A = this chain, B = another copy of it.
Amino acid sequence: MDKDKKVSLKDIANHLGVSTALVSYALNNKDKEARVGAEMAEKIRKAAAELNYQPNIIAQSLKRGTTNTIGLIVADISNPFFSSIARIIEDEARKYGYIVIFGSSDESEAQSKLLIDVLVSRRVDAFIIAPSEHTEKQIKGLLKRKVPVVLIDRYFPNIETDFVQTNNFQVAYEAVEHLIKNGRDRIGMMAYDTGLLHMQDRINGYKEALKDNGIKFKSAWLRKVSYPHLVRDVQSGIKSLVDPELKVNGFFFATNTLAVESLKIINHSGIRVPDDLALISFDESIAFDFFYSPLTYIRQSIEELATEAVRLAIARIGDKERKPEFVVVDAKLIVRSSSRKGKK
C-alpha cells in the first residue's frame, strides 16, 4: 500500500465502485437525510478505516466556509500571563475541534492591524483578543464584517461584543484598602500609561479606596510607565519613592511586569519591605515568591478567563445573533509578608 499518498473520498469511491457523494454522505453520518443504505454505509465506513482516510480539512474549509480555527492575539505570548492563557485556550479549543493560531501585538496598533489582517485572510472563525490601545476601529471593523470577536483581559466601553475580564476595580480597591487597614496612609501606585480601561479600572479602584478611607490622593503618588520604555520609566518611578517629600509607605503595582522590574531596583535601594514600604502587585510572578519579603498579590483566575473566552467564542460561532455576553471573573487577594503592618 502506498503510505505516502493521502487517500481522498475519490479513492474510497473508486475502490468501492460508488460515487464520491455517497461516500461523503456516509462518512458524515447523513445516512438518514441522504438515504444511504445501511449495508453500503457500513461498507464505506469500513473501507475508510482500512484505507486510513483522513478528510482534507482544507477542502472542507473551502466548501463549508469555516476553518475550525481560532485566532488569538495578545500583547506578548512570552509574557507568562498570556502564555498561561494561551495554554488553556489551546486545550479548551481543541476539545471543541478547534485549533489556535496566535500572534503578539506588542501593544502596537500597527502590529495589531497586521495580525488581524493575516488572521482574517486565514479565515479564522473567531478571534480572541487582548486588545491594545487605539484598536477599537480594528475591532469594530471585524464586527462589521460579522467576524466573532471575544475580548479578553481588556475591553472597550462602546463595542458590543462578548468579553471576559477580571473585576479590576473591586479587587484593586480591596488591595489598597488592605494596605490602609495595615496602617499605611500614603499609598502610591504604578500603572501603564494607557487609556485601556482595565488599567483605568485598577487606578480608579485605587483612588476610590483612598477616598473612602479619608486619604487625599496626591497626583505625585501615581507613576505612569510607558510600555516601550518600561525599564527607564520604572527606574525613575522607583527612585522618586525615596524622595523625602513623597514618603509613601504603601505601594500598588498594576501588573506583574511593573512589579518585577521595580523589585529589581528596590532590592538594591535600601528600602525595607514591608517596614518602610508595603507592597502589593496585580498578577502573579514566580519572582514574588523569592523576593525577600514574599509579595502580596492579586491572583486572577487565568483558568476561568481562558475557558470562558473559548466558550463565548464557540457560542458566537454557533449563533452570530446572540446577545453579547459580559463575563466578570473574580480575582483574589493573596496576602503575604510584603503588606504586613509597618513599624510605625
| Interchain nearest-CB distance for A112 vs B (Å) | 13
Contact status B56-A58, CB under 8 Å: no
* A219 at the binding interface (Cβ < 8 Å): no
| Interchain nearest-CB distance for A3 vs B (Å) | 7
Closest-by-CB residue of B relative to A97 is B118
Contact status A57-B122, CB under 8 Å: yes
Contact status A77-B67, CB under 8 Å: no
Spell out A's residues near B (CB within 8 Å). 3-4, 54-59, 61-62, 67, 76-80, 83-84, 86-87, 90-91, 94, 99-104, 118-123, 144-146, 260, 263-264, 267, 285-287, 289-292
If A78-B86, A122-B57 touch, whether A289 touches B289 (CB-CB below 8 Å) is no
Q: Which of B84, B90, B120 contacts A103 (CB 8 A)?
A: B90
If A145-B4, A267-B290 touch, whether A90 touches B61 (CB-CB below 8 Å) is no
Contact status A260-B287, CB under 8 Å: no
Q: Which of B62, B78, B90, B264 contacts A102 (CB 8 A)?
A: B90
Q: A290 — which chain B residues lie within 8 A by C-beta?
A: 263, 267, 287, 290-292
Q: Select the residue from A3, A119, A290 with max chain B CB neighbours within 10 A.
A: A290
| Interchain nearest-CB distance for A231 vs B (Å) | 14
Contact status B78-A87, CB under 8 Å: yes
| Interchain nearest-CB distance for A127 vs B (Å) | 14
Contact status A83-B90, CB under 8 Å: no
| Interchain nearest-CB distance for A82 vs B (Å) | 8
Contact status A286-B287, CB under 8 Å: yes
